[in-house]
Chain A
Amino acid sequence: MPMNPKDKSLFKIAGPSTSIRVATYAALLMLLLSGCATTRIEESRSSTTQLAAGEAMVILGRATYNDRETEESFTDCLEDILSQGSNPIRLVGQKKFKNDLYPWFEPRTAPGNAGDLGRLFSEPGVRDRIRASKIRYLAWIEGDTVTIDSGGSMSCAVSTFGGGCFGMSFWEQDASYEASVWDLETLDASGQISADANGTSYLAGLVVPIPILARPGNAACKGLANQLRSFVGGE
């Protein structure tokens, strides 16, 4: 259909107004300033570690019966990073490990500290099963990501003629995780690595909702995985 010359005015009206442009620049600025998370990694080593060729590590999320628990997505993220890259680590999956050693690594029966490993290894079959899988290190992951602050407001409306969102909301998240590394050869604790990340995410409603996500959980995962890789690599 040929365009009516009068319709040109519509383009002017529909184009970005000054206020929308300012808001867009503000959103982009926020992306640069606040759309990131700050991460702090700390390591404490109590013995030398060295993952030999063919040896494996298993990553287990510490399960509890209270309302806080290490998310499965976090341990999955660690496994993804550690099993890839230029220096991949052979990992035994959490589910396979727990099934192979059932009932000794269930939330109720799993050893609470490295001192319990001796008792566990005296159970028939446990030592042999772990040695058969060539698992050298066990990393217990504890912690979670919580929202510590939130605010702002946003309202969205939908009708048969269209819809849109207006407003701004934000939430600040804190991700705090700790990995306790146990040596299944010496039956002792090798050390601990902690990762703390903090970031504020924004959701700006400019007709279309624009999320500016900080993802501190992801930042903590990357930081912890890289440190864990160098830790078991003896670096």
Chain B
Amino acid sequence: MRKDQRQGKYAEGVVKPFGSAIFVTLTAGLACLLLVSGCSHSITVEGRVPTPLIEALPLSIGVITQPSFNSYVHNEELPRGGGSWRIDVGQLNQRFFSTLFDAMFLTAVDAELEACRGSEAPVPSPDCPNGFVQVDLVEYAFLTPALSGLNFFSVSVKYQLTLFGADAQPLGDWIVTGYGKSESRAFQANKALNQASVEAIRDAGARIAIEWPKQAYVSEWIDQYILDRDGRPVM
């Protein structure tokens, strides 16, 4: 065999496997990237926080939230290869409920319950609000299309609202569940879950704004602070 032919064959032999090697490496890399990104999801739930269009109750409220509420992160490993999910709900929770209670009451402040223990309703201490509401996130749950068999990401959030009087005594509690869902689109799982989470929080917020003041113990608490024309409490 001639030298140039051998060289040609040698050159061809080098180039082809080298090209295949690049292709295989790229394919394997892409597959690994897809596998890794498909197995691990990290989301910080973000969304617009609307100001509720409701008439504010003529009361002041102290809003009590635990650190775990404001920094709540849901971690879950889904079965059947659904991957691991880390969902930061706390940041939106904090903003959402702050806006919600600002709209629901004349004044809403972050408050310490202990500082007002011993005050007597219906004449509150000047430094203490008319009452306190403690909000706890009891449960956050979600379903992916693979688990539900539907073409939606679904989210439910369960909150517990506990009302305390001006004297920091508990008056009652109420559990509210919000539900949200969002269409599943290819390669947009995080976006869909974010949207479903926002919808769920909005749904719970809507129920709190409309239904919570109608609960019997809340109505009674409101009534004792609403004054008649003579400036006396209506009992």
Secondary structure dominating the interface of B: mixed
- Known A-B contacts A102-B53, A106-B202, A109-B206; the reply to A160 vs B24 at CB < 8 A is yes
Binds A, one of B44-52, B65-73, B81-89, B129-137: B44-52
In-complex Cβ contact of B203 among A71, A99, A107, A125 (8 A): A107
CA of A126 to CA of B55, assembled, Å: 11
The residue in chain B whose Cβ has the minimal distance to the Cβ of A65 is: B179
CA distance A125 to B207 in the complex (A): 18
In the bound assembly, the distance between CA atoms of A108 and B48 in angstroms comes to 19
B54 contacts the other chain (CB 8 A): yes
Provide the B151-189 mask, 1 if CB < 8 A to any CB of A, else 0: 110000000000000000000000000010101000000
Contact yes or no, B24 A109, CB < 8 A? no
Which residue from B51, B152, B207 sits with its C-beta under 8 Å from A102? Answer: B51
Are B206 and A108 within 8 A (Cβ)? yes
Q: Is B53 touching A125 in the complex (CB atoms < 8 A)?
A: yes
Q: How many residues of B contact A (CB 8 A)?
A: 24
The proximity string for A residues 59-83 relative to B, scoring 1 for CB distances below 8 Å and 0 otherwise, is: 0000001010101100000000000
CB neighbours (8 Å) of A102 from chain B are 50-53, 202, 205-206
> Whole-angstrom distance from the CB of B9 to the nearest CB of chain A?
16
Q: Which residues 35-81 in A have Cβ within 8 Å of B in the complex?
A: 65, 67, 69, 71-72
When distances are taken between beta carbons in the complex, the residues of chain B under 8 Å from A98 are: 50
Contact residues in B for A108 (Cβ distance below 8 Å): 203, 206-207
* Cβ-defined contact, B179 with A103, below 8 A: no
CB atoms of A160 and B23 under 8 A apart = yes
CA distance A102 to B206 in the complex (A): 7
- Given A72-B183, A109-B210: A104 and B203 within 8 A (CB)? no
A126–B53 touching, CB < 8 Å: yes
Residues in B with CB closer than 8 Å to A109 are 206, 210
A29 CB, min distance to chain B CBs, angstroms:
31
With contact pairs A99-B50, A103-B54 given, residues A67 and B209 touching in the complex (Cβ less than 8 Å): no
State whether A106 touches B55 (Cβ < 8 A): no
| Interchain CA distance A103-B205 in the complex, whole Å | 8
On chain B, the residues within 8 Å of A160 by CB distance are 20, 23-24
Q: Are A124 and B55 in contact (CB under 8 A)?
A: yes
Q: A103-B210, A106-B206 are in contact. Are A67 and B53 (CB under 8 A)?
A: no
Query: A116 in the interface, Cβ–Cβ < 8 Å?
Result: no
Bound: A160/B150 CA distance, A: 36
Inter-chain contacts of A107 with B (CB < 8 A): 199, 203
- Indicate whether A101 reaches chain B with its CB closer than 8 angstroms: yes
**For the complex, is A129 an interface residue (Cβ under 8 Å from B)?**
yes
Is the Cβ of B53 less than 8 Å from the Cβ of A104? yes
Set of chain A residues within 8 Å of B54, measured between Cβ atoms: 103, 123-125
Asked whether, in the complex, the Cβ of A101 is within 8 Å of the Cβ of B203, the reply is no
**B106 to chain A: closest CB distance in Å?**
14
Q: Smallest CB–CB gap between A110 and chain B, Å? A: 10
A185: chain B residues at CB < 8 Å are none
B151 — which chain A residues lie within 8 A by C-beta?
Answer: 67
Q: Which residues of B contact A106 (CB under 8 A)?
A: 202-203, 206
Could you say which residues of chain B place their CB within 8 Å of the CB of A100?
Answer: 50, 53
CA distance A99 to B20 in the complex (A): 54
Q: Nearest-CB distance from A124 to chain B (Å)?
A: 4
Q: Give the chain B neighbours of A129 by CB distance below 8 A.
A: 53
* Contact yes or no, A67 B203, CB < 8 A: no
Question: In the complex, which residues 92-122 of chain A have their Cβ closer than 8 Å to any Cβ of chain B?
Answer: 95, 98-104, 106-109
Q: Which residue of A lies closest to B149 (CB)?
A: A67
Residue of B nearest to A73 (CB): B183
Q: List A residues at the B interface (Cβ < 8 Å).
A: 65, 67, 69, 71-72, 95, 98-104, 106-109, 123-126, 129, 160
With A67-B150, A124-B53 known, 4 other A-B pairs at CB within 8 A are A102-B52, A103-B52, A103-B209, A123-B53
Interface residues of B (CB under 8 A from A): 20, 23-24, 48, 50-55, 150-152, 179, 181, 183, 199, 202-203, 205-207, 209-210
Could you name 16 residue pairs across A and B whose Cβ atoms are closer than 8 Å? A67-B151, A67-B152, A69-B181, A69-B183, A71-B183, A95-B48, A102-B53, A102-B202, A103-B53, A103-B209, A106-B203, A107-B199, A107-B203, A108-B206, A126-B53, A160-B23
The 4 closest A-B pairs by CB, nearest first: A103-B206, A102-B50, A99-B50, A124-B55
